[in-house]
Amino acid sequence: MYVYLLPFTVRKQLAAILDTDNAWELLAFVMPDIENTDIRACRDAGSFESPTENLLAIWGSKGNKVIQLYNCLGRAKLVRAMKAMRHLVNPLFHCWEEQCLQSADENSQESKKAITSRSCCSAKNGDITTPCYGEAPSVKCSNMKWLNRETDNYADSHIIYKTLQNTPCIKYNDIVRITNNFSSENILGSGGYGTVYRGMWEKTEVAVKRIQAVKECGHEKEQMRQSLQELRMLSKYRHDNILPLYAYSLDGPQPCLLYQYMRNGSLFDCLFRKKPVVLTWLQRISIMIGCARALHYLHSVAKNPIIHGDVKSANILLDKHLEPKLGDFGLCRDNFSKSDENLVLNYEKLIMMVKILIKYKECINQDNWRDDDFVTASHVKGTLAYLPQEFLTGRIISTKLDVYGYGIVSLEVATGLKPHVVKRYPQNIVEYVMDHQKSGKHENILVDHQCNFTNDLDASYFSLILQTGLKCVVQDYRKRPTFREIINTFLYVCNSV
């Protein structure tokens, strides 16, 4: 039954219950497809009409069903309203009412939290989780070993829930099927986060990231936090140069994320594997422009800039047309506060288990954010070569952190050199490039000889990428360019040559 077919008496009962103390706003908060404009319209009509009836009319016009409404009432812990319409839903779902009451008894604050996993009932912890609508509650929450009380506060946050509304949720059993039971033959790569598998989902080639947390030194909790953060960010922010998230699965022993399959792997792979893909200079500059556009979008789309926090060539993926897609958003932050003590950056294989522990320092007030404003992080771990000194020594995090990482990638693309090599002097690519610049013969020495110049245009592209990289890695972070300036420079030079 559709919501717009709700019996008149039931609709009036719901209005009487939810209009009281504006309880309808709790329902609107967890409803997919309800925008702020819809909520404002309901509020404005409240003086002469029932806001609940207006809300149901708006939501019902979008093709939603009664079972979905019942489930939303459960997420909002509005048990009285659930009871008013329980006769309209399958009795299999009536257990949600009892679970709401159990959850409320355990912690009254839980009543305002939204729920993010698949449909289930658990007598053990009394959680209600998000279903693929219309399914009976068959999967037990107690089987979700990856989701524990330490991470519930993050997983259940309303922010994550709201951003997942337009992202398909699929069964873990389907993940097992499309990866051939996580066959080793389908492995694309692995790391501290888990393993990525190749799969075929709905006749579409996909990459499946299976999160496998390491249970040591508190890493499990942090890995889950990063996985859920990545899930939220990729669901919320869409751009041509950001890796598309197709779907997610949260009902199995490990959470899984489904991405677009990137046929050419990472930019790092293209540059440095044993048989590298030889990128032309036109392709290289196109890749750098695409990356800059993705980062400019992140820095400008929201009220406060969204800092990626882990810009490196291994996190820039290339599709079959060599179009770049920025990935790995586990460290991304889109909200800053004075008590931001949880920003943990993950540095992977390049420095091999390098760990930096920095004591928390008071963060600055974020009321008047500017591009050169910064916040401080309390705990830091990571890929040292992509991180600037102000971050390593002063714990400063700003948009210029991403600019520095982008600068290192630019130097990699221009020279074909890795950012840090122990047997090289200087070991750091920034110092290496600067030393050779002083010699006056830097072009012949530094150019990536896997792709020699075929014309003057190639030389111009090389010089542009190299000089842009050097501007991005200057020591004073305030003097680094913004991505708007970087894009404008690239386009101006490319249109001039």
Same domain? For 304 and 449 the reply is yes
In this structure, the answer to whether residues 222 and 272 fall within a common structural domain is: no
| SS3 assignment for 339-384 | CCCCCEECCCHHHCCCEECCCCCCCCCCCCCCCCCCEECCEEECCH
CATH for 15: 1.10.533.10
Res 98: pLDDT: 77
Same domain? 8 vs 84: yes
Q: 17-56: per-residue pLDDT in tens? A: 998 888 888 888 888 878 777 788 888 776 678 889 888 8
CATH number at residue 307: 1.10.510.10
Single out the residue in 238, 260, 282 at which a domain terminates.
260
Domain identity same for 219 and 105: no
Q: Are residues 378 and 454 in the same domain?
A: yes
pLDDT value of position 366:
35
Work out the mean pLDDT of the chain and round it to a whole number.
76
The CATH number that applies at residue 216 is 3.30.200.20
Q: H or E element: which one contains 283? A: helix 281-300
Instruction: Say yes or no: 247 and 284 in one domain.
Output: no
Q: Looking at the structure, do residues 90 and 214 belong to the same domain, yes or no?
A: no
How do beta strands 324-326 and 204-211 pair? Answer: unpaired
Does residue 66 lie within any of the structural domains?
A: yes
Annotated catalytic residues are: 310
Report whether 343 contacts 395 (CB < 8 A). Answer: no
Domain boundary among 206, 239, 260: 260
**Highest-confidence range of 69-73, 218-222, 257-261, by mean pLDDT?**
257-261
CA distance 135 to 251: 13
Task: State whether 250 and 344 are in the same domain.
Answer: no
- Choosing from 91, 110, 129, the residue where a domain stops is 110
Is residue 134 in a domain? no
Number of domains into which the chain is organized = 3
Q: Which pLDDT belongs to residue 225?
A: 65
- Asked which of 165-179, 266-280, 337-351 is least confident by mean pLDDT, the reply is 337-351
212-to-194, 224, 344 alpha-carbon distances in Å: 5, 9, 18
Q: How many Cβ atoms from other residues are within 10 Å of residue 453's Cβ? A: 14
Q: What is the pLDDT of residues 411-444, one digit of tens each?
A: 999 999 999 888 888 889 999 999 888 776 666 7
Q: 224 in a domain, yes or no?
A: yes
Q: Do the annotations mark residue 209 as ligand-binding?
A: yes
Q: What type of residue sits at position 475?
A: Q
Q: Is residue 292 part of a domain?
A: yes
Q: Which domain holds residue 220?
A: 172-260
